[in-house]
Amino acid sequence: MVVVSGDIKILLLNLPQNLSDVKDYSSLLQPYSLALLSSTLKQKGYDVTLCDAFAYQMKKEDILKFVSDLRPSIVGFSIMTSNLPQTIEFIGEVRRVHPAALILAGGIHPTIEYMNLLKNHLDIDIIVRGEGERTTVELMDALQNKKALDGVRGIAYRSDGVIAATPEREIIQDLDTLPFADWASLPMDRYWDRWTIKKNYACMLLSRGCPYNCIFCGHGIIGKKYRTRSPQHIIDEIKMLYDTYHVRNLSFADSTLNVRNDWLHELCEKMISMDRKILWGCSVRADHVDAETIKLMKRAGCAKIFIGVESADNDMLQRMKKNESIEKIQEGIHIIRKGGLIPDLGFIIGMPGETKESIMKTINFASTFNRSVCSFTYATPYPGTELYEIAQREGFVVDDWSKFNTFTLAYVPQGFTEDEIKSYFSKAVKKTYLRLTFLASQLLNVKSWINFVVNVRFTYRLFFKIITKKA
């Protein structure tokens, strides 16, 4: 039976992207999910410390000393697939310096792989599955009051050596019932992304769920039902970020901001009237783009748009279940550019069914853009996605979770060799980026000194620490 002695003291810990080299990263974003969980627990009266060791560039020994000095009764981690190996190793170190701590893990990967994690990694005590805010509060209540855990929906744990999983928890229907993220516990002047133009910079979520069916995305995990915060709830948080934390640049991290253009219109209108000039970026679906919405977004401060094109081949788009054509995507790009914004574009290399012709069609399409930054990633079969199921049917076996970062080749589709996919990836990057017209356009497109610095850093890491190292 899992027990906690005395009053609960919680540590939510965000680890550096690379514990072996804490300065190895190309962007630094707030751990939004942990920050939201922190504020939810604090709202219920719990003693919570949110430590962003990534932002503070804390080395492993410094983090362990922090844990040892704080002596929390519970240490919580949000685990990404690519960071699983280093996080598991670090959890073992936490157990060594603070044996009495109860270790919690959450996130998409633990939600799907909870059986394997609890079976193979005994230092993890409890896994929070799915949306964690209400589940974690109920879990803390049960632990504080010495109640059995089988009444807490949405968790998995060991009971007398046997792994127990309680029924799934229903999704949170009204996102406005959640508090604002715990921004006060974060060093707000440290964060930035590749397109940061002004400081301070913040990243936040406005919605949950995804109504689409792309095979490479975990829509089945985050929920098919699309739910949004109310525009006024969002505006209130933006005003607080602007006034209290001097945020002048925002990123809305939702996978698709324009699922509902009527909601987006209302949000933009409120941003225009809130009397605070702030720049922001987002991701959209090209087939939902229209001129009126783009015009309104630009007036509201939108400065960056990302579109996941994925492939320039219609057969591949159909295989991916994107439910849009390259012609429709081109139309959306044209509308955005005509509206005065330059969209960045994303492409995936090495999906199932890929041919040499489809890859080259994508590379040639991407190389026609000078002002847009075209990013390439490897097809990566994350657990819980249809792509993972397809890869397994092909005989795919995971040999190293750390490869699941989209810049390292983890999966090779049938009909190709590993070297061939790597060669196409390298060709895509070089043909798209190593062009004088592209480079000149990017220099002319620099918006500020901060924007120049972060782009240089991003480019250096992309070419010299990722692509040339792992190609």
Would you state the torsion angle of the CA atoms of residues 454, 460, 466, 469, taken in this order, to the nearest 10 degrees? -170
Q: Is the pLDDT of residue 471 over 50?
A: no
Task: Give the pLDDT confidence score for residue 16 in this predicted structure.
Answer: 97
Share of the chain above pLDDT 90, in %: 84
Say which range, 25-29, 100-104, 171-175, 244-248, has the weakest mean pLDDT: 25-29
Contacts of 82 (CB under 8 A, 6+ apart): 401, 402, 403, 404, 405
Predicted confidence (pLDDT) per residue in 215-228, tens digit: 999 877 778 899 99
Predicted confidence (pLDDT) per residue in 118-169, tens digit: 999 999 999 999 999 999 999 999 999 999 999 999 999 999 989 999 999 9
What 3-state DSSP class applies to 74?
strand
Predicted confidence (pLDDT) per residue in 408-432, tens digit: 999 999 999 999 999 999 999 999 8
Task: Give the pLDDT confidence score for residue 452 in this predicted structure.
Answer: 78
Question: Mean per-residue pLDDT for 26-44?
Answer: 96
Residue 463: pLDDT band with limits 50, 70, 90 = low
Radius of gyration over every alpha carbon of the chain, rounded to an integer in angstroms: 22
Q: Is the pLDDT of residue 441 over 80?
A: no
Task: Give the pLDDT confidence score for residue 25 in this predicted structure.
Answer: 83
Of 450 and 254, the structure prediction assigns the larger pLDDT to 254
**DSSP one-letter code for 207:** E
Q: Is the pLDDT of residue 23 over 70?
A: yes
Task: Give the pLDDT confidence score for residue 446 in this predicted structure.
Answer: 72
Q: Is the pLDDT of residue 367 over 60?
A: yes
- The residue ranges of DSSP E strands in 17-122, in sequence order, are 47-52, 74-78, 102-106
Task: Give the pLDDT confidence score for residue 271 in this predicted structure.
Answer: 98
Q: How many whole angstroms separate alpha carbon 380 and alpha carbon 402?
A: 11
The highest-confidence range among 25-34, 54-63, 195-204, by mean pLDDT, is 54-63
User: What is the residue whose two structure tokens read 């995507």?
Assistant: 329
Predicted confidence (pLDDT) per residue in 370-380, tens digit: 889 899 999 99
CATH class of 192-470: alpha beta
Residue 197: pLDDT band with limits 50, 70, 90 = confident
Q: How many whole angstroms separate alpha carbon 458 and alpha carbon 263?
A: 33
Q: Is the pLDDT of residue 458 over 70?
A: no
Residue 290: pLDDT band with limits 50, 70, 90 = very high
Q: CATH 3.20.20.70 in the chain, residues?
A: 192-470
Q: CB–CB of 10/46 below 8 Å?
A: yes
Residue 3: pLDDT band with limits 50, 70, 90 = low
User: What is the residue whose two structure tokens read 């220099």?
Assistant: 443
From residue 158, alpha-carbon distances to 63, 102, 433 in Å are: 27, 12, 50
Mean pLDDT value across the chain: 93
Say which range, 90-99, 173-182, 242-251, 456-465, has the weakest mean pLDDT: 456-465
CA 317 to chain centre: 23
Q: Is the pLDDT of residue 469 over 60?
A: no
CATH class of 9-165: alpha beta
Residue 465: pLDDT band with limits 50, 70, 90 = low
Q: How many whole angstroms separate alpha carbon 238 and alpha carbon 271?
A: 9
Bridge partners of 279, per DSSP, are 249
Q: CATH 3.40.50.280 in the chain, residues?
A: 9-165
Q: How many whole angstroms separate alpha carbon 90 and alpha carbon 14?
A: 12
Would you state the torsion angle of the CA atoms of residues 457, 463, 469, 471, taken in this order, to the nearest 10 degrees? 150
Task: Give the pLDDT confidence score for residue 413 in this predicted structure.
Answer: 97
Question: Mean per-residue pLDDT for 46-50?
Answer: 98
The token pair at 465 is 């620490």
The token pair at 156 is 């998995």
Q: CB–CB of 205/32 below 8 Å?
A: yes
Sign of the C-alpha dihedral computed for residues 396, 402, 406 and 408 taken in this order: negative
Residue 403: pLDDT band with limits 50, 70, 90 = very high
Task: Give the pLDDT confidence score for residue 152 in this predicted structure.
Answer: 98
- The residue ranges of DSSP E strands in 293-442, in sequence order, are 302-310, 343-349, 374-378
Of 456 and 2, the structure prediction assigns the larger pLDDT to 456
Q: Is the pLDDT of residue 468 over 80?
A: no
Task: Give the pLDDT confidence score for residue 6 in this predicted structure.
Answer: 67
Is residue 284 within a helix (H) or strand (E), and if so which, with residue range?
strand 279-284
Residue 5: pLDDT band with limits 50, 70, 90 = low
Share of the chain above pLDDT 70, in %: 94
